């Protein structure tokens, strides 16, 4: 018999939540701890819905296009964060619930954020404006964007729950997308600083290329000259075949349903994406619980957005689509190097020949209700092509 509890009801005490978090951190969790963690995640859903509505209403009045989507932090990611940060309390984790806003440029980003800060929100901003401003103060790994943390202020059992708002430009999002997808494919969480050192380093150079050429900013290698950035990037690319790796990422092209509620499951080893669409939140949540129980350790996430294209842009890291990043890196590299010509760019963009056995078939599987569809990925010759510049 399934449980009849309201899945959005918060846990009775933060003390019990923290105890469950500690048990997961120490690998001593039991079924009751798992239920507490699940209920704590579910309790943030009302907060997500409230903030998404608030942000969408404000975005309609803003100039330019703003893509907005919401997501829950996955159970596996919550546990991983608890283990990475020994002093972190589960009840104080501020990004279990999150909304991401993607802007056309930095000016639009800061203008929208400022208007939100100056508005009469009933919810409380918990951080100083510069604390999580990774555009002004880029992270050492090259991440750029801005985060804010709000406390949900409502006369209800959900009062006091935290939510993180992420602000990125399209350029910044293309970099973050590539990092996360590469992490899936290499089975390393690069965004947490894990993995091959040279791969991590080439992403730092890539961040600098994008910041300088598309946003007139500096990233984590601001002390280097333009030529040093190009030389460093080229050297690492030659050593690890970064361009080839990027091409192999671009193998899954998934079509997004127009329905709002979707569950995505990415299989690292097989590089396959499974997706389910649902007409209502309760049905999606029921499937989410089932999938997490049957597939421990898999990357599973429930997301919703008003439009399918919004979902694809905001969460395209789950679709292994790095076209924006690839194109911008080629363009940015050519701009930075005074010795770089258009003919050089065409040569650099063309990958070395790849033997057939080096390319394995890729598929995307889509399930909606009782129906399932499969799209076969592009073949090796297409993977190697890139338009002449």
Residue 83 CA to residue 24 CA, distance in Å, equals 8
Q: Could you report the per-residue pLDDT of 319-369, keeping only the tens digit for each? A: 555 677 888 888 899 899 864 444 444 434 433 332 222 323 233 333 333
Nearest to 167 by CA among 92, 115, 90, 220: 115
Residue 114 CA to residue 5 CA, distance in Å, equals 40
pLDDT given for residue 40 in this prediction: 93
Q: Cβ atoms within 10 A of the Cβ of 142, count?
A: 26
Q: Cβ atoms within 10 A of the Cβ of 292, count?
A: 20
pTM of the model as a whole: 0.72
pLDDT given for residue 81 in this prediction: 92
Residue 173 has pLDDT above 50, yes or no: yes
HSE-CB for 258 with a 13 A CA cutoff? 0
Residue 36 has pLDDT above 70, yes or no: yes
* Residue 174 and residue 249 in contact, taking contact as beta carbons nearer than 8 Å: no
What is the average per-residue pLDDT within 16-26? 95
Q: Mean pLDDT across the chain, nearest whole number?
A: 76
Nearest to 18 by CA among 92, 127, 123: 92
DSSP per-residue codes, 88-152 = --GGG-TTSEEEEEEESSHHHHHHHHHHHHHS--SSEE-S-TTTTBTTTS--TT----EEEEEE-
Q: Could you report the per-residue pLDDT of 42-73, keeping only the tens digit for each? A: 889 888 988 999 999 999 888 878 999 888 88
Residue 130 has pLDDT above 60, yes or no: yes
129 confidence band (pLDDT: 50, 70, 90): very high
The position carrying tokens 């990611």 is 77
319 is written with which tokens?
A: 């679709």
pLDDT given for residue 313 in this prediction: 58
The rounded percent of the chain whose pLDDT value lies above 90 is: 41
Residue 7 CA to residue 379 CA, distance in Å, equals 44
* Residue 42 and residue 87 in contact, taking contact as beta carbons nearer than 8 Å: no
Domains of the chain from N-terminus onward: 43-340+360-383 (3.30.460.10)
In angstroms, the first-to-last Cα distance of the chain is: 61
Residue 109 CA to residue 201 CA, distance in Å, equals 27
Residue 169 CA to residue 106 CA, distance in Å, equals 6
């Amino acid at each position: 018999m399934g449980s009849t509890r309201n899945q959005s009801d918060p846990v009775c005490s933060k003390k019990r939540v923290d105890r469950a978090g500690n048990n997961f951190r120490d690998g001593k969790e039991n079924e009751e701890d798992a239920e507490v963690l699940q209920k704590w995640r579910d309790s943030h859903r009302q907060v997500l819905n409230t903030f998404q509505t608030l942000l969408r209403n404000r975005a309609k009045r803003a100039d330019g296009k703003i893509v907005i989507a919401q997501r829950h932090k996955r159970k596996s990611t919550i546990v991983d964060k608890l283990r990475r940060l020994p002093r972190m309390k589960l009840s104080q984790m501020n990004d279990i619930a999150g909304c991401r806003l993607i802007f056309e440029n930095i000016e639009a980003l800061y203008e929208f954020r400022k208007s939100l800060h100056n508005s009469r929100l009933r919810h409380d901003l918990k951080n100083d404006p510069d604390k999580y401003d990774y555009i002004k103060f880029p992270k050492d790994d090259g991440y750029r964007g801005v985060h804010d943390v709000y406390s949900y202020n409502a006369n209800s059992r959900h009062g006091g729950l935290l939510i993180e708002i992420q602000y990125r430009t399209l350029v910044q999002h293309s970099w973050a997308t590539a990092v996360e997808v590469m992490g899936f494919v290499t089975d390393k969480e690069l965004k947490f600083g894990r993995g091959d050192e040279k791969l991590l380093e080439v992403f730092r150079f890539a961040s600098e290329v994008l910041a300088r050429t598309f946003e007139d900013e500096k990233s984590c290698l601001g002390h280097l000259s333009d030529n040093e950035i190009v030389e460093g990037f080229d050297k690492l690319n030659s050593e690890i075949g970064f361009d080839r790796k990027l091409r192999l990422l671009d193998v899954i092209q998934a079509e997004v349903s127009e329905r709002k509620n979707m569950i995505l499951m990415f299989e690292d080893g097989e590089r396959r994406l499974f997706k389910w669409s649902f007409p209502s939140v309760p049905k999606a949540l029921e499937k989410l619980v089932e999938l997490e129980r049957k597939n421990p350790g898999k990357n599973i996430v429930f997301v919703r957005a008003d439009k399918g294209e919004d979902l694809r842009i905001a969460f395209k890291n789950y679709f292994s689509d790095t076209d924006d990043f690839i194109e911008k890196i080629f363009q940015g590299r050519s701009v930075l190097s005074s010795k770089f010509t258009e003919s050089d760019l065409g040569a650099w963009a063309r990958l070395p020949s790849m033997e057939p056995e080096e390319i394995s078939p890729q598929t995307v599987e889509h399930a909606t209700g009782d129906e399932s569809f499969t799209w076969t990925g592009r073949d090796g010759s297409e993977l190697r092509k890139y338009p002449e510049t």
